[in-house]
Amino acid sequence: MLCDYHVHTHYSDDSEYLMEDVVKDGINRGLSEICFTDHVDYGIKYDWDDPRAFQKRYETLLANVNYPEYEKEIDELKEKYKDQITLKMGLEFGIQTHTIEKYQKLFHEYPFDFIILSIHQVEDQEFWTQDFQKGKTQLEYNMRYYQEMLEVVKTYKDYSVLGHMDLITRYDLNGVIDFAYIQDIVKDILEIVIKDGKGIEINTSYHRYGLKDMTPSRNILKLYKELGGQIITIGSDSHQPDHLGAYIEEAREELKKLGFEYYCTFDKMQPIFHEL
């Protein structure tokens, strides 16, 4: 089976990809399963029914997912395409330490199958604009990024996998930091993830961002395996048609090379293991 477990639609403020078009394209590309994981980024964005959501920052609306409409459309598409593809309801939570309570509340309001925990901002500062990195050395902003991740996973437990764990690499103008500098803190994070029965994802968007390594890096994947980690999902981080399902099969082959035997899908927040 071929599954994409990181998919954004027009419910995310950075995508115009209609949800039903995603489903049709997925069927045409031979996908067996899609999990929708649209963006929620408290701290820099507001809920769909908050007037402030219609302000703009960096020419982007500050709106999180319209949750009731999101759930409704997924349920309708599940029924309409039930004989052709499996659809799951997830979200990508862009959590920061000061926003944890909002996500705890949101998680218990809807019947999620899957949650990606991502660190998209720190102290409400964006990586892609370089606001977060400004005034810091490469070591300082890398360590601060992972420290935020560590503090979040110590407290927040309602998630399935860590998303694009070394995301900061994508926006590091100084290149990729030597893994030796961050290995200890990455190990601390992974030990908590494994102890809590959570996982990590392979995010195949490293291709379109022109990165030299996988996301997360092979060093992180090797460490995860050495520590006993087994739960891994694979997602394209799709925002438009040419992203959907891209390089999923390649990622599976790379996992095999690293010695992994399984990848996961999810149902009602429980991992389901499939042979690679």
> pLDDT tens, position by position, for the chain (276 residues)?
899 999 999 999 889 999 999 999 999 999 999 999 999 999 998 887 887 767 766 556 678 999 999 999 999 999 999 999 999 999 999 999 999 999 999 999 999 999 999 999 999 999 999 999 999 999 999 999 999 999 999 999 999 999 999 999 999 999 999 999 999 999 999 999 999 999 999 999 999 999 999 999 999 999 999 999 999 999 999 999 999 999 999 999 999 999 999 999 999 999 999 999
* Residue that is written with structure tokens 């420290």 in the block: 147
Q: How confident is the model at residue 56, as a pLDDT?
A: 64
Residue 176 carries which DSSP code?
Answer: P
Nearest Cα neighbor of 116 from 144, 88, 141, 142 is: 88
Secondary structure element (H or E) that encloses residue 250, with its range: helix 248-257
Q: How confident is the model at residue 52, as a pLDDT?
A: 77
List of E strands, the chain: 3-7, 33-40, 56-57, 60-61, 86-94, 114-118, 121-122, 125-126, 161-162, 199-203, 232-235, 262-267, 270-275
Q: How confident is the model at residue 46, as a pLDDT?
A: 81
Six-digit token string for 268 = 């009602």
Q: How confident is the model at residue 57, as a pLDDT?
A: 64
pTM of the model: 0.95
Residue 110 carries which DSSP code?
Answer: S
Q: How far apart are CA 270 and CA 197, in angstroms?
A: 10
15 HSE (CA, 13 A, CB side): 25
Q: How far apart are CA 242 and CA 78, in angstroms?
A: 23
Please, which residues have CB within 8 angstroms of residue 259's CB and are 6 or more apart in sequence?
225
Q: How confident is the model at residue 49, as a pLDDT?
A: 81
